[in-house]
Amino acid sequence: MAQTPVLQVNNLKTHFFTRSGVVKAVDGVDFTLNAGETLGIVGESGSGKSMTALSIMGLVPQPAGKIVEGEILFNGDDLVKKTQAELQQIRGRDICMILQDPMTSLNPVFSVGNQVIETVKQSLAQTGETLKERAIELLHKVKIAAPESRIENFPHQMSGGMRQRVVGAIAIAGSPQILIADEATTSLDATIQYQYLELLKELQRDTGMAIIFITHDMGVVAKMCDRVAVMYAGKVAEIADVRDIFNNPQHPYTEALMKSVPNVEEDVEMLYAIEGQPPALDNLPAGCTFAPRCQYAFDKCEVQFPDIVQIGDDSNRHTATCWKLSEN
């Protein structure tokens, strides 16, 4: 696989300035994404996954939110330094995102066809197809039945899963270099989800597109991802190849997260859940943010935030942020 990074995120910090204080939604995130690679971002709800993605897109909610530190290098070019006009160019073409909430990306007063055609317009011209044909073809690809007539639908006339797929169709219309999918399959049943994921893989094979998959579904992670970043309270707790995350998790949070994944084949009385609450991001504990819930916590954990530790030799790019790992 090609090892050229299309995206390098270095020490990214995105904070919200609210009446009750500073919310450190993203607080020092690092990762690298190579062309043709798929990175999964998993972790606690509210840990900063969507905000990391929105920072890359230049879409951090204004005026409360701001990137306060760090770099986002897209093919070596720092996106943090770009103007909104420049970012808009990149967004429509090179980096596309499927937002977690499909209704905010679809305009309720225009037909679905209208909205797909608008996007297709920007990426077409060289091929002889008409815009409408291309739009129908895209909807067909994402398994919308009878796309010729569905194209007339308004968003509210479609089911939740259909809307999600329309947003997906818009995002892949221009074959971007990076696709960010934020909870893009939550409303799809298993059979449609399977076909949709296969479509993304095919697109990736054909165009070398890199994908960031933000998801809570470990099945999706297992099927799609080469690498996985596990986030907790605004930071990457652990990052590694997908097999290492499943077979050899090192961070206590990763370990607990994997234990919470339910099994379809089993009947259980109670599901396993991690004890305690995730920390409030405007009032983080000193030391390791996972310490109040960690079964391995010891003195040092409560005082100082842990260093990043390399697991094994550095060829397998596996790191975790935990004192337990550097103490022995």
Partner 1 sequence: MAAVNTIIELEETQKYFPVTSGAILKKVTGQVKAVDGVSFKINEGETYSLVGESGCGKSTTAKMVLQVEKPTGGVIRFNGNDMNSFTREQRREYRASIQAVFQDPWSSLNPRMKVGNIIMEPLLANQEVPKGEIKERTEQLLRDVGLHSFQADYYPHEFSGGQRQRIAIARALSLQPKVIVLDEPVSALDVSIRAQIMNLLKQLQDQYGVSYLLIAHQLATVRYMSHHVGVMYLGKMVEEGLTKKVFDNPRHPYTRALIEASLPAHPDSQREGFMLEGEVPSPLNPPQGCSFHPRCPKPTKECAEGSMEMGLIEVEEGHRVDRCCVNCG
Binding-site ranges for ligand ATP (CB under 6 A): 16, 18, 23, 25, 45-51, 61, 64-65, 100, 156-162, 187, 281
Residue placing its CB nearer to ligand SF4 in the complex, 20 or 277: 277
Q: Which does 158 bind (CB under 5 to 8 A by kind): ligand SF4, ligand ATP, Mg ion, none?
A: ligand ATP
Burial of 45 (0-12, 13-18, 19+ CB in 10 A): exposed
- Judged by DSSP in three states, 244 sits in helix
Residue placing its CB nearer to ligand ATP in the complex, 28 or 46: 46
User: Nearest 5°: phi and psi at 188?
Assistant: -105, 140
Q: Which does 156 bind (CB under 5 to 8 A by kind): ligand SF4, ligand ATP, Mg ion, none?
A: ligand ATP
For the bound state, the minimum distance from the C-beta of residue 45 to Mg ion, rounded and expressed in Å, comes to: 7
For the bound state, the minimum distance from the C-beta of residue 296 to ligand SF4, rounded and expressed in Å, comes to: 4
Q: Which does 21 bind (CB under 5 to 8 A by kind): ligand ATP, ligand SF4, Mg ion, none?
A: none
Separation CA 143–CA 157 (nearest Å):
17
306 binds ligand SF4 (CB under 6 A): yes
| Residue closest to 134 by CA, chosen among 145, 123, 149, 143 | 123
129 binds partner 1 (CB under 8 A): no
Structure tokens at 121: 């317009």
Q: Which does 44 bind (CB under 5 to 8 A by kind): Mg ion, partner 1, ligand SF4, none?
A: partner 1
Single-letter code of the amino acid located at 295: Q
Separation CA 41–CA 100 (nearest Å):
13
50 binds Mg ion (CB under 5 A): yes
Instruction: Indicate which single residue of 43, 234, 252, 278 sits in contact with ligand SF4 (rule: CB under 6 A).
Output: 252
Q: Which does 230 bind (CB under 5 to 8 A by kind): partner 1, Mg ion, ligand SF4, none?
A: none
Residue placing its CB nearer to Mg ion in the complex, 193 or 319: 193
What Rg do the C-alpha atoms of the chain give, in angstroms? 21
47 binds Mg ion (CB under 5 A): no
Residue placing its CB nearer to Mg ion in the complex, 100 or 321: 100
Beta strands in the chain (DSSP E): 5-18, 21-34, 38-43, 65-74, 77-78, 95-98, 178-182, 210-214, 227-232, 235-241, 308-310, 319-321
- Judged by DSSP in three states, 108 sits in coil
Site for Mg ion in 141-170 (CB under 5 A): 159-160
298 Cα distance to chain centroid: 32
107 binds partner 1 (CB under 8 A): no
Site for partner 1 in 215-274 (CB under 8 A): 216-220, 222-223, 242-243, 246-247, 256-257, 260-264, 267-268, 270-274
User: Nearest 5°: phi and psi at 306?
Assistant: -65, 155
122 binds partner 1 (CB under 8 A): no
295 binds partner 1 (CB under 8 A): no
For the bound state, the minimum distance from the C-beta of residue 159 to Mg ion, rounded and expressed in Å, comes to: 5
Q: Could you give the angle at which helices 160-172 and 190-207 cross, rounded to 10 degrees? A: 0
Q: What ranges in 260-300 are assigned the alpha helix state H?
A: none
Structure tokens at 84: 């909104």
272 binds ligand SF4 (CB under 6 A): no
Contact 144, 150 (CB under 8 A): yes
Residues of this chain that interact with Mg ion (CB under 5 A) are 50, 100, 159-160
